[in-house]
Chains A and B, each alone.
Chain A
Amino acid sequence: MSTGIGVIGLYVHDQDEALDFYVSKLGFQVHADHRNGSYRWLTVKLPNQQFELGLFLPQEPVLDAKTAQTMREMVAKGAMPPLVLVVDDCRASYEKLRAKGVEFTQEPIARFGGVDANFRDPSGNAWKMVEARA
C-alpha cells in the first residue's frame, strides 16, 4: 500500500536562482543537493513536512535537446500545472513575501469563504497561495 508522496518535481530555468527563491524567500529548506557532472538532483522541503519539492533543470541527457528546449519554453510561458501553497494568513504572507520581492500576479482576494493570492517563481511556475480553512 502506498504511504505518501515523496517527491514531486518542478522544471526551473536556473537551479541556483530557484534555490534562492524557494529557500530565502519562501522558507523551504534544502533537502538534497547532489551533482553528477552537469546533472544536479536538488530538492527542498518545508520544515514541517516530509514531502520534497524537486527543482530540476530540463536538460540532456534526461531529455533530448529539442524536448529540453520545449520544456524551458513551456515553463517560461507559464504553461506548467498550477501549484497550491497553504498558509496560515494569506494577507500577512502576501505582505512578507512581496517585501522580499516575490512576483505576485494577484493580490489577496477573499472569496468562497477563504483568501487567496497568486505568485510566480522566477522560472514562471504559478503558485496559488491559500489560507488554511479553520
Chain B
Amino acid sequence: MSTDAIALPRTELASRPFVDALHEWVTTVDHKRLGILYIVYALVFLVIGGIEAGVMRIQLVRPHNDFVSPQVFNRMFTMHGTTMIFFVAMPLVFGFANYLVPLMIGARDMAFPRLNAFSFWLTAFGGLLLYFSLVGANGLYGAGNAPDVGWFAYAPLTSRTFSVGHSTDFWTLGLLVSGFGSIGTAINILTTILCLRCPGMSLGKMPLLVWLNFVMSGMVVLAVSPLTAAQLMLLVDRYLGGHFFDTQAGGSAVIWMHFFWIFGHPEVYVLVIPAFAFASEIIPVFSRKAIFGYPVMVAATICIGFIGMSVWAHHMFTVGMSSNANTFFVLSTMAIAVPTGIKIFNWLATMWGGKIEFKTPMLFCVGFLFQFLIAGLTGIMLSAAPFDWQLGNSYFVVAHFHYVIVGGILFTVFAAFYYWFPKMTGRMCDETLGKLHFWLFLIGFHLTFDFMHIPGLLGMPRRIYTYEPGRGWDIWNLIVTIGVFFQALGTLVFVANLLWSYFKGKAAGNDPWDAWTLEWSTNSPPPAYNFATIPAIKSRRPLWDLKHPDDPDWKYE
C-alpha cells in the first residue's frame, strides 16, 4: 500500500495575476477549495453575527436603556439567530465535511463535484439575499428593513397583516435558497461516503468523523425539507392569498410551530453531531489512545439521529398540547440524553490512561467536554415539561442553547481550526496566540453564559429590548454583557492568529500531530488529486498500522 503523495513545490501565489486566482476560486469544483470557501464565508458571518449580539447586549446592559430602538433590537435578534445558524454554523459544518470526508476515506473528491460547487453558491447567495433586506425591504419604517420576526418566525406574526413590507420575504427566500444548497451538499456527502470509500474501508472501518457526517447528512436530507415545505406554504399565504397559517380562516398557528420544529430540532443535532466528530478525532490523538468504544459511538450517534427526529415538540410545551402529547415528548427528549451521555463517557474513557498533551486543539476539546456536560444537564431540566413551563421562552433557554452552540459546537470548531489548519495551509498556527485565544474566550464564555441562566430563573423572558428595574435582573445582565468583550477579544486574537500563521507560521509537514487517519498521509496542503494512488487500508487507524507494524490495530479490531 502506498500513501505517499508526489511532492510538489508550493506554487508562489504572488506571481499569479489576481484575476486568475479569483477565477480559479470562483469556478472551482475541488472539495478542498469549496471547503475553505464555506469556512471563510462562515467566519465573515461569525463576525457579523457577533456584532449583532454585541448590539443586543449593550442595549440590555441596564434597564430602560436606549442604545437602540425596539424595532432595531427585534431585527438584531432575528438576524443574529438566523445568521449564526444558517450562515455560520451550517457552512462550518459543510465546509469541514467537504474538506475532510474525501481525504479521510481515501477518495479524490466528492461524488458530485459540480453539485458541490452549485450547493456552495446557493448557500452563499442565500446569505446575501437575507442581508440584502437591509437595503431592499421597503417597510413601514423607511428604506431597508431586516426581518424582525425572530429566527423561527412564528405565524401569524409573519402574515401580511402583521409583517408589512418585504423583510419577512427576504428571510423566507434567503433560507429557502440556502436550504436547497444544504440538501445538495448532504446528498453529496451521503453518496461520497457510500460510494467512494477506498479499498478495505468497510463502513465499520471509517473514521468516526466520517460516520458522524454520514448521520448528519441523513438528518439534513430529512429535516431541511420540512422547513422548505413550511416556507413554501408561508409564501403561498403571503403572495397567493393562501390560508395555511391564517387563523381568521380556520388555519392554525400551531401547525407552523410543528413544521418549523420538525426541522428545527434535528437541525441542532445536525450542528452538534459534527462537533462530536471533531472531538472524536482530536481527543484520541492528543490522548495518544484509540477512541474508546468505536461501535458504541456509532450506535449512539445513529440513535441520536433517530430519536432526534421525534423530540421536536419539546419546543412547544407551553403551547397547550394535551397532557399525553406533552408526556410523550418528555419521554423522547429524556431518552436522547442516554446516547448523548454515553458519548461523553466514551470520550472520558479515551482520555483515561492516556498521555494528554494540552496543545490548543485539546484545550478547546476539554472545554467542550465540561461545557457540553452542563449544556446537556440544563437540557434535561428543560425536558421536564412542567419545569419548562417556567423556564421556557426565558433567558434560561437562551443560556442553555448558547451553552451547546458556543460552549459545545464553537469550541470544537475552534479545535478543528487549530488541528486541521496545518493540513489545509501547510503551516502551524501560533501556539501562544492559540492559548491566549482559548483563555480569553473561556473567561468571556463563562461570564456571559453561566450567569445568563439566572435572569431566566428570575422570570426574564427572551426577545425583550428592555426590562423593568426592580425585578432583580440588572446585575446579571451587566455581567453577561461584560463577558461579550472577552469573547470579542478572543475572536480577534483568533482571526489575527489565522492571518499571521497563514503567512508566517512554522512549516507543518504532512503529519504534525502524529495522527492516524488518511488525511495525514498526504501533503500539507494536499495536491488537487489528494493521493498519488488510492490507498488500501486494513484498520480504523491506517497510519497507526504503518507507524507500529509490530502492533497494528487490525489485530485487535
A binds B: no
* A interface list, Cβ under 8 A from B: none
List residues of B whose CB falls within 8 A of some A CB: none
